[in-house]
Structure 1
Amino acid sequence: MIFKVLYQEESKEVPVRERTTSTYVEAETERQVRSKLADRNLNIEYVQALDEDHLEYEKKSEDFKVENI
């Protein structure tokens, strides 16, 4: 399953929409996603499991790239 992760670059940074970044991670559960990203010192705002339709929409973006962790 592919998850979309919305985060701030610094773990102590206050979430501000204009500075929110996203990445895509393949994992079985949200817990696995958070575990895979734990060493990056990110302030994870939201982890969203992408259903098939949403994934197809995201793939159309030039920024779409699934991280291989």
Structure 2
Amino acid sequence: MIFKVYYQETKVRNPKREQTHSLYIEAETDVMARQLVEDNTPYNIELVQALEGNHLDYEKENADFTLTEFN
């Protein structure tokens, strides 16, 4: 399943909506997606959202859709 992860680039500053970024990741569950991002980045995760059906199709067409892979 593909998840969209909303995050702040650092855990030091207070979160601000204007500084929220997102990435796309493939994982079996939202918990696994969150763990992958936490283990491989210093990001402050705000939300992990599952994408499927029409929502996934929309993201693929209208956003900078690139799956993030960690080694």
The residue type equivalent to 1:44 in the other structure is: I
Query: Aligned equivalents of 2:60 and 2:67: distance in 1?
Result: 10
Give the TM-score normalised by the residue count of structure 1.
0.90
Of 32-41 and 42-51, deviating more is 32-41
- 1:62 to partner: Cα distance: 4.6
Q: Secondary structure at the match of 2:15?
A: coil
The residue type equivalent to 1:54 in the other structure is: H
Gaps of 5+ in 1: none
Gaps of 5+ in 2: none
Identity fraction in percent: 49
May I ask how many residue pairs the two structures share in their alignment?
69
Give every structure 1 segment of 4 or more consecutive aligned residues whose post-TM-superposition deviation is greater than 6 Å: none
CA RMSD of aligned residues (A): 1.2
Give the TM-score normalised by the residue count of structure 2.
0.87
